Amino acid sequence: MAKIYPEIKNELLQLQDTMEQYAMANAVAPPASVKKKIMAAIDQVEQEKPVSDKVLPMEKNEQQGKLIPMGWKIAVAATVLLTIGFATLWFNAKNSSERYKSQMAEMKNKQDTMLQERSSIAQQIQQEEKINFLLVHSATREINLQGTKKSPAAAVRVYWNTTTEDVLLKVDDLPALPDNKQYQLWAIVSGQPVDMGVFNLAPAQAAVVQMPVKVKDANAFAITMEQKGGSPSPTMSAMYVMGKI
């Protein structure tokens, strides 16, 4: 106790000094029993078992303030793992969704293309049926257009239905044209040229084509070479074929 509390040790030392001074001053030999008791008390104080110098453990409340409980560590680790797991699932789901959308868009484009092709084929079939109908119709007249001095070998057939007023055309022989030129069909009505539309050479050479304009009371037909897109009036010097009805 004297080592832990210095105040007690000082009091004991002062008591010892006082007793020694008192004994010296009175020079009276104390009874043996008294001396024996005093010495025993001193020995007991001085020989008391010293306290260990080991570091005292912290109080429980201090440990709790500085140490993280194991339960919290497990909870944090679980939260991190769950976050990573959900992030991975979300990323995979997003990629799958984007791939699905891309595949759906591609399938829709293919479907639209197929529908357009189907519609185009249906229109071609319908047009061919109409042309065949007009060719054999009793009111359809065939007019042979002969080549002019500009192109003596040229030859074109025009089929004109006087009832429906439809005009068909089949090129047997016409010279090839530059890219910036087109052939244009004219109907002569009461001495005046009527624009029947332009046409491309290759389709007209391969099959009978129907012109976009109808005509009534035509007296003749002629074809001239014009700028691409056509002309409001025929270029007489560029007339290739002509045929009267």
**Structure confidence by residue, pLDDT tens digits, 203-222:** 988 889 999 999 999 999 99
**What is the reported pTM?**
0.55
CA distance 153 to 167: 23
Give the pLDDT confidence score for residue 1 in this predicted structure.
46
Yes or no: is domain 140-244 CATH 1.25.40? no
Q: Which residues contact 182 (CB under 8 A, 6 or more apart)?
A: 198, 199, 200, 225, 226, 227, 228, 229, 230
CA distance 184 to 233: 10
- Position 24 confidence tier, pLDDT thresholds 50, 70, 90: low
Domain ranges of the chain: 6-46, 60-136, 140-244
What percent of the chain has a predicted confidence (pLDDT) above 90?
Answer: 44
Give the pLDDT confidence score for residue 40 in this predicted structure.
62
Q: What is the number of residues in the chain? A: 245
Q: What is the mean pLDDT of residues 176-180?
A: 93
The DSSP code sequence of 85-124 is: HHHHHHHHHHHHHHHHHHHHHHHHHHHHHHHHHHHHHHHH
Contact between 12 and 45 (Cβ < 8 Å): yes
Contact between 182 and 188 (Cβ < 8 Å): no
**Structure confidence by residue, pLDDT tens digits, 102-148:** 888 888 888 888 888 888 898 889 888 999 999 999 999 999 999 99
